[in-house]
Every structure is written in structure tokens, then in C-alpha cells.
Homo-oligomer: A and B are copies of this chain.
Amino acid sequence: MDKFLELSERVSNFIKEREWEKFHNPKDVAISVSIEAAELLENFQWRDDEEVDKMLEDRNYLNRITEEMADVMVYLIVMSNKLGVNLIDIALKKMEKNEEKYPVSKFKGNAFS
């Protein structure tokens, strides 16, 4: 099976088995995405880019970061399932928009031209 579908179903089953659907209104799930994003950001606080690059060689540090990324991802999937949309499809659609909005000819090498 498609790996993303596998993940999506696993998240869905996790919630169903625990009967947690009742907690998961879209507003609270959006709050969760935001809180997990802040926890991801916390790993970079007070560190400049060089320090971060050096720390990323440490497997424990990398694991803390990927776990927080995973938390954001899981809540995005909870929300997708809630809203009946496919996260990959909406992201592909957004990339199409981005490609039009930022034509290579105009934005090559410059994010703010």
C-alpha cells in the first residue's frame, strides 16, 4: 500500500480505537498544529545557524527535531481526515499555485524581487 495512505489510516485508527474523535473539533486541532510547531521551533532557540548545523550531527538532537516534525504532521493528518481532504492532493495543488505566483524567470536567486 501507498505509505502515506498507511500513515493516514494508522492515525485514523489510533483515534477511533481510543474514542478520541469527540475531542477533535477542527479548531482544537488547529491549536495543536500551532503548539507542536512552537515545540519544533524551540529546538532552534538561542542558536545561530552554525551552532544548529553542528548540533544536527548529534543523533539525539536530530531525533528531538524529527519527533516534533512528526507531531505537526500527525495533527495535519487528523485535520485532513476531519475535513475529508487528502493532504498530499491539497499540497500538490498549492505547489501549482506557488509555481505560477513565483515564476523562475523573475524569482531565480531572489525571494523578494
**Contact digits for A37-52, partner B, Cβ 8 Å, 1 yes 0 no:** 1111111111111001
Binding site for B on A (CB under 8 A): 2-4, 6-7, 10-11, 14, 17-20, 23, 25-28, 30-49, 52-53, 56, 62, 65-67, 69-74, 76-77, 79-80, 83, 85, 87-95, 97-99, 102, 104, 107-109, 111
Is the beta-carbon distance between B27 and A72 smaller than 8 angstroms? Answer: no
Task: Contacts A49-B25, A49-B48 given; indicate if A79 touches B69 (C-beta within 8 A).
Answer: yes
| Minimum CB distance partner of A85 in chain B | B66
Q: Which of the residues B26, B37, B98 comes within 8 Å of A44, measured between beta carbons?
A: B26
Bound state CA distance, A33 and B73, in angstroms? 11
